[in-house]
Amino acid sequence: MQELNNTLRGRDFISIHDFTIEEIDYMLETGAILKKELKSGIPHPHLAGKTLGMIFQKSSTRTRVAFEVGMYQLGGHALFLSPRDIQIGRGETIKDTAQVLSRMVNGIMIRTFAHEEVLELARWSDVPVINGLTDLLHPTQVIGDMITIREHQGGLKGIKLAFVGDGNNVAHSLLFGGAKVGMDVVIASPKGFEPDPVILEKARQDAKQTGAKLWVVEDPAEAIAGADVVYTDVWASMGEEAQADTKEKQFLKYQVNSKLMSLAHRNAIVLHCLPAKRGKEITDEVMDGPQSVVFDEAENRLHAHKAIMALVM
């Protein structure tokens, strides 16, 4: 474990695709251990004296709170940096921002729109950069998701996860995550809203090592049939508000409701990365029902983020 820890120290966390099967498993196990320690009152100040700079180009509840509280629990300090607070909001380049911040902090987390901004930040930063979300990927979310699935389903390999809705950043990271841990992932999306084929192909290459099956269908009922995990997300992501009404009409049959859930495995769990548009992509009956673990999932963002920070910073 020490050798693997040394391998991760100083690394950027931009995509699950960038890590080996063993490294992802180590992150998940580290998250589980940190959670157990926290619940047992055992302090773990692995980042004592260290500081995380958090750049938020998009608003956030779970990501901000999990990183900020996580740094506190790890003995460090987090700085919230919105575009209104730093010069990046007035035209300073990503390159200059990276070079300045990396001389003052020990790690940088960024939540933004364009994935290229994260890559540019990492290129010029001398400290680890953590991708807190882009329009392409949401890897920190999926580390938390996989911790949750392990807790409730006893493992990941051979589990069938059905994601119903837009083939978005969460869907992309679920494909990468499933490929690394041997979890079968099926994405059900309307025509024109499927996952990026380049992401799907990269994930399928990863899946050759674990035997995970990854595929895309149009029919949500086909995807959910026999699923151990049913996952959904908002139909219009941040920045797509103008498309919300149009997308809603195209996604009506993709609502996760009791009828669709009846097709899943009887012990299936329900995930949602939140925030949810209740009555749209998911009904109250399902989200508040006995199969829902969405708030366990939200809590596990804290433990996932702590594992990532503790290992790379």
State the catalytic residues: 111, 138, 141, 233, 273, 301
Q: Are 214 and 207 in contact (CB under 8 A)?
A: yes
Q: How far apart are the first and last CA of the chain?
A: 16
Rounded Cα distance between 308 and 26, Å, is 10
Ramachandran quadrant class, 167 (left: phi over 0; alpha: psi -120 to 50; beta: rest): beta
Q: What is the DSSP string of 234-291?
A: -SS-TT-GGGHHHHHHHSGGG-B-HHHHTTS-TT-EEEE-S---BTTTB-HHHHTSTT
C-alpha dihedral over 259, 261, 264, 269, to 10 degrees? -170
Measuring CA to CA, which residue among 14, 235, 26, 191 is closest to residue 107?
14
In angstroms, how far is CA 71 from the centroid of its own chain? Answer: 18
Rounded Cα distance between 51 and 72, Å, is 10
Q: How far is CA 63 from CA 147, 247, 290, in A?
A: 16, 25, 25
Contacts of 210 (CB under 8 A, 6+ apart): 21, 157, 179, 180, 181, 182
Rg from Cα positions in the chain = 19
* 3-state SS assignment for residue 55: strand
Q: Are 132 and 108 in contact (CB under 8 A)?
A: no
DSSP state of 213: -
